[in-house]
Amino acid sequence: MILPGIIHGMTRKRLILATRNAGKITELHAILADAGLDLELVGADAYPDVPDVKETGVTFAENALLKAHALARATGLPAVADDSGLCVDVLNGAPGIFSARWAGTHGDDRANLNLLLAQLSDIDDTHRAAHFACAAALALPDGTERVVEGRMEGTLRHTPAGTNGFGYDPILQPEGHEVTCAELTPQQKNAISHRGKAFRALVPVVQELLG
């Protein structure tokens, strides 16, 4: 996905986001536009020859930086990347960076959710605190880097509810709400989400490094 880069005959600075998810690109573009930043934002699919990066870091920040630096080196452009997951207090922060492959197969949302619920089946409501965490990184081709983070606190339901969202959304009830993330509208979720908070925290960094 590429958002138009020419306005009144002038070429805008290009920023690449390490994702092929059009929703993420639209979300970041809206946040940058709201802040008055006139940038051309493109996704990784604009550079199909650039391979995906293995997430070998042990923290969300490390994985975000790995992806951002790899993309910046490969394209010669400033690059943004994010990494996120669910952190459960009683599991000492797990699944954490392993959230997408908690049950063994990357991206099997149903298996991941079912395994986590089984692991927490004997845990009562007072000990089911959890949060979604996101690290967003900006890397420049010269090696300059910045990382910011966002969190969405909540508690885990015993059974899934809602059909919106993905991953663990059907079992996390955000703090201050009576429904799960999967029962919120996309607009409601974006307003309080960990990724939205991280992307908004990235705005002053983009302003500092890209102008």
Residue 151, classed as helix, strand or coil, is strand
**Residue 115 is inside which H or E element, if any?**
helix 109-119
For residue 141, what are the contacts with CB-CB under 8 A and spacing of at least 6?
72, 73, 75, 76, 77, 78
Tokens of 1: 């996905």
Active site residue 82: no
Q: Which of 52, 83, 89, 108 is flagged as catalytic?
A: 83
Q: How far is CA 89 from the centre of its chain?
A: 20
Annotated catalytic residues are 83
